[in-house]
Structure 1
């Protein structure tokens, strides 16, 4: 015999009771959901007030920055992170430029990782920290953006320890100079770069002392200080005077500006028997321009820095131009004055660039 299943009609007492129970259950569920507090969509992250609540100070060094844009906030955060380490990790501008220039031109390699070398260059240029990163940002919905910069202590300590070791190896290679070539422009350039690396290593050691004090203490005795290297660099400069002679320089004005540029780099000038000599010629000649009553004088300065011991030209240099005035004497005076200004700027740059490139590929 087949069993017959009864279906309750919508109007039956059972159907009405089930409907009432379902409604009561749904209302309880909805009420429960409504009573659960919701977090505002743009609520302030806890790291804004105190980054250490998110980034444990046993494992990380962290700092918060802010600004009107995300870029400014991130820069502010990196600066705040540097401040946590103190002023000891900030470098002197000239040293920073020398170190980063050496990285860019290939005279110095701190890591086999080219991307890391770029990060190191940027960090030195901007006085930031290698290995630091922006972990999070938050916009308050009004006008201010916040950012948190973080450095992992263990990873950072390993990174800085490796950079210090690599820099020490480079310093040792740079100052390994035969005694016969000790007092030369090449030796000067080597020690100049070595001192920049030494000063930078002192900064790196100070960073390491915050990340891992024990590791920093172990390395401190083996780090070559920048001061001792710079002193030797200056000693070399004083032992290799550069003589300056300029023909047709009647009142010595052209000679004087060349000597000023050379002295500004730490070298003495003079000495007829000097290994290095700056030899130049000044030429002044009148120029006539059609339909112009003024007097004009063309100036030409041809110069070269030579190494007499090797018989080579180290720096060829030449400038020229034309100046005018109502009388020829004043036109000539103007020509010499402009030539002086050009030499002071242009030869200064070329002399500095020459010294820097001496260490390229060392």
Structure 2
């Protein structure tokens, strides 16, 4: 590992009104240890250890906003509403700040992925999405969102963002990736509406832009809004919302105009080119086209195929400790991105960042499937 790589990774960078000591961000990863949707002391310690291990910014696992269709999962996934859950998040926030780090909650609505019976204030609630979906039995699975539904969801995002700022969080991230609600509006495959929220790319962006602009209008001007988006979907790894740089330019510039401060560009492998005929990655294209700071993410420190199946397969899969870290330095030095989000490598080893900085590579604990079975 070169001195240039280490300098790039561990140089300070502006964030909001302050500064981060390095470029390493903890990627949001659902861990399912929040009983009843409430993060407890174990969760606070989990995040604190990553800051003590060298991470400068924590992006929390996805937290559900206050809408009956927001969650698709059991009640051990966290929510960002209710006195009990917010009290839990206040303790997480305090633990991270006491350790010298910054933290932002990821605000999440799953949209059409939800099925009746999932956690939430109304377990019988259907999914909400751009288009109606019914099962073979004719039962409503996904409700096509009316204007009133859209307004209610936007209000729920705003409420969560205001709560985050009031509590002292260092910003918020909007989860608009991986085939969840906002991404479902972006994606022509799932959005075939014939109103102002469907059809053209600009129309499909409207809902996401309205979420951003509504938040931007009520939080402080220097309160960072991070926006996570992706081409790929959990439903289709080969899906795209932008087939070329021109379409990507429309997407990122509309969102930037709405009030996005930082783009979090989720890819399966951060180093791969985004489009044919250009070596630029998706993160590099977003930075070039928008002029905004960018967080890159995708298999950092790993060398095995990414897959959602990793979370469900019973066998353990041994992954690389520090594969592609040199490429992180190259990307930062080339100004392709400004931050790098690390996921599974940090699940395996809370000290990953410190060990990379101190070049204690042989001491890094590699990620295995069994790492997901505990919260340490």
Smaller-chain TM-score range? under 0.3
TM-score normalized by the length of structure 1:
0.20
Q: Which structure's CA Rg is the greater one?
A: 1
Instruction: Give the number of the structure whose residues are more often helix, by fraction.
Output: 1
